[in-house]
A and B are shown apart, each in its own frame.
Chain A
């Protein structure tokens, strides 16, 4: 069993541009995500943060290189093997990606109905338990369009946690939320991670708030990565592009204040 939940080995990913050329988003990228810890993937817009998540999930394929999940190369997996891999992940999408024609209850019950042989009573009990835990009781008959942004994220989290994932991937989990709600969501992540024990990968530009959760930070910048063992290590970096990123996103004093709360 590998010590790393996920490893990127020399990964290259590029996209076709409208003018006929190609833009390299990840250029021979190497980093590892340790088991049971929280890794934040940060970087400016268009630097490939969400692409990184999609590559891990096999929703996109790499141009070259390897992505290892628990030591197993997952690049090139297809069909049942890819489905099998995905059962180990839980994903909270940027917009929560709830099924808008299903109620909250049906959304959360969906993975249980489709992926397990549990009875309707067991499914009902399990869904209601997690809805209670995430303070969503009383909303189970509502549809996603009737929920606030924060509630949608919580329903998305409830759905993602149903099959007890080993690795949770969060894509911009607090985009569009107010500061209080953002705080609630982060507290929720910390609580559920403690309960379930998953490895968390958070893609976010919500800096410095997200850093209070981070055990490790991966910064994506122009196709390359910089890996820091802690927010403080990142703040101490003298690399000009990291300094620029730190100063543009959080400001020195705020970073000290935020990271000291950890």
Chain B
């Protein structure tokens, strides 16, 4: 390392900076990995906090239904219109139900649900845990010999793992209904062919793929969002106090959204 004498500062060359960043990424990945293990282990520690689990189910699940409804309705209707426009060119409007439902069940439902939940509930969970961390509330739990994972984190994990797949199913249903309204009611596609196209083309494997994706995305969202808040002190460049919480919250939503998109491709490539 090169110290610049007299100015109290240190200048590093690009290779040193790269090495330092590499080490930080390794450390951060290690910390997040350990965090994930402890959070999953906390789910099985007793006593289980049923009331907190239900509260989180209500917050992540029921509380996100409105935003999921509007996102799904809009997406389904746009898919209906766009699909009709494209298929009409080939005289294949009858395939609209198939196109809309497969797109929603396998791709857009899991991805958009996860991203919307990351923005609405993930950001809130990150900020809540981050504030608890900087105001020593998590230290206080540890000092009372209360496992913060069992008490605080794991109920959020379990609630997200249950509620996000259910929200995805809700998204799919609303989206397909939106596609029906746009395609059948507005553009005049035959209702029978819309429903039959959907029934004949959607297989159990497609639904299974969508379900696996929604579980994986739920884990990514709750892991990254709660983890960034919990580790707020260890995150480079986060700063201190309220600013650190705002920065890690932004980072949590961005990272979890990107992770969802990357894993969407990987899972599609592996499981399709």
* In the bound complex, CA of A163 to CA of B1 (Å): 51
A84–B146 Cα distance when bound, in Å, is: 10
Report how many residues on chain A are interfacial, defined by Cβ distance under 8 Å.
24
Q: B196 within 8 Å of A by Cβ?
A: no
Of all chain A residues, the one with the shortest Cβ separation from B151 is: A114
**Chain A contacts for B131, CB-based, 8 A:** 100
Interface contact B147-A91, CB-CB below 8 Å: no
In the complex, whether B67 has a CB less than 8 A from a CB of chain A is: no
Within 8 A of B (CB), among A96-112: 97-100, 110-111
- A85–chain B nearest beta-carbon distance, Å: 8
Q: Which residue of A lies closest to B10 (CB)?
A: A19
Number of interface residues of B (CB under 8 A): 20
Q: Which of B137, B142, B146 has the most CB of A within 10 A?
A: B137
With a 10 A CB-CB cut-off, give which of B135, B140, B147 has the most chain A CB atoms: B140
| Selected contact of A100 from candidates B135, B139, B142, CB within 8 Å | B135
CA distance A159 to B143 in the complex (A): 11
Of A20, A59, A163, the contact of B10 (CB 8 Å cutoff): A20
Q: Which of A59, A110, A114 contacts B142 (CB 8 A)?
A: A59
Q: A83-B145, A87-B145, A114-B146 are in contact. Are A93 and B10 (CB under 8 A)?
A: no
* A99-B137 contact given A57-B143, A114-B144, CB 8 Å threshold: yes
Closest B residue to A85 by beta carbon equals B145
Name the CB-closest residue of B to A90: B143
Query: Could you tell me the distance between the alpha carbons of A87 and B145 in the complex, rounded to whole angstroms?
Result: 6
Which one of A59, A86, A95 contacts B144 once the chains associate, using CB atoms below 8 Å? A86
In the bound complex, how far is the Cα of B144 from the Cα of A163, in angstroms? 9
Contact of A93 among B3, B9, B140 (CB under 8 A): B140
Mask, A49-87, CB within 8 Å of B = 1, is 000001001010000000000000000000000011011
Which residues from chain A contact B140 at a C-beta distance below 8 Å?
Answer: 91, 93, 97-99
A89 at the interface (CB under 8 A from B): yes
Does A95 lie within 8 Å of B145, measured CB to CB?
no
Chain B contacts of A19 at CB under 8 A?
Answer: 3, 8-10
Min CB distance A214 to B, Å, is: 23
Of all chain A residues, the one with the shortest Cβ separation from B20 is A20
Docked pose: A100 CA to B131 CA in angstroms: 10
Hey, which chain B residues are within 8 Å of A111, CB to CB? 144, 146
Question: In the docked arrangement, what's the CA distance between A20 and B144, Å?
Answer: 35
B117-147 to A contact mask, C-beta < 8 Å, 1/0: 0000000000000011001110110111111
A97 touches B10 (CB 8 A): no
Q: Whole-angstrom distance from the CB of B233 to the nearest CB of chain A? A: 11
Give Cα distance in the complex from A44 to B157, angstroms: 42
**CA of A181 to CA of B156, assembled, Å:** 39
A115 at the interface (CB under 8 A from B): yes
A94 interface hit (Cβ, 8 Å) = yes
State the Cβ distance, B238 to closest chain A Cβ, in Å.
13
A83 cross-chain contacts in B, Cβ below 8 A? 145, 147
Closest chain A residue, CB of each to CB of B144: A111
Mask of B1-23 contacts with A, CB within 8 angstroms, 1/0: 10100001110100000000000
Q: Chain A contacts of B1 at CB under 8 A?
A: 20
Give the CA-CA distance A26 to B95 in the complex, in Å.
73
Given the known interface contacts A20-B10, A114-B151, the answer about A93 and B136 at a Cβ–Cβ threshold of 8 Å is yes
CA distance A86 to B132 in the complex (A): 19
Q: Evaluate contact between A59 and B9: CB separation under 8 angstroms.
A: no
Q: Which residues of A contact B132 (CB under 8 A)?
A: 99
Q: How far is the CA of A115 from the CA of B142 in the complex (A)?
A: 12
8 A-B pairs whose Cβ atoms sit less than 8 Å apart in the complex: A19-B9, A59-B143, A91-B140, A93-B139, A97-B137, A98-B137, A115-B145, A163-B144
Interface residues of A (CB under 8 A from B): 19-20, 54, 57, 59, 83-84, 86-87, 89, 91, 93-95, 97-100, 110-111, 114-115, 159, 163
Given contacts A99-B140, A114-B146, 14 further A-B contacts (CB under 8 A): A19-B8, A20-B10, A57-B143, A86-B142, A86-B144, A91-B140, A91-B143, A93-B136, A97-B135, A97-B137, A98-B140, A100-B137, A111-B146, A163-B144
Q: List chain B positions with a Cβ less than 8 A from chain A.
A: 1, 3, 8-10, 12, 131-132, 135-137, 139-140, 142-147, 151
The 9 A-B residue pairs whose C-beta atoms are closest, nearest first, are A97-B136, A97-B140, A86-B145, A83-B145, A91-B143, A19-B10, A87-B145, A93-B136, A114-B146
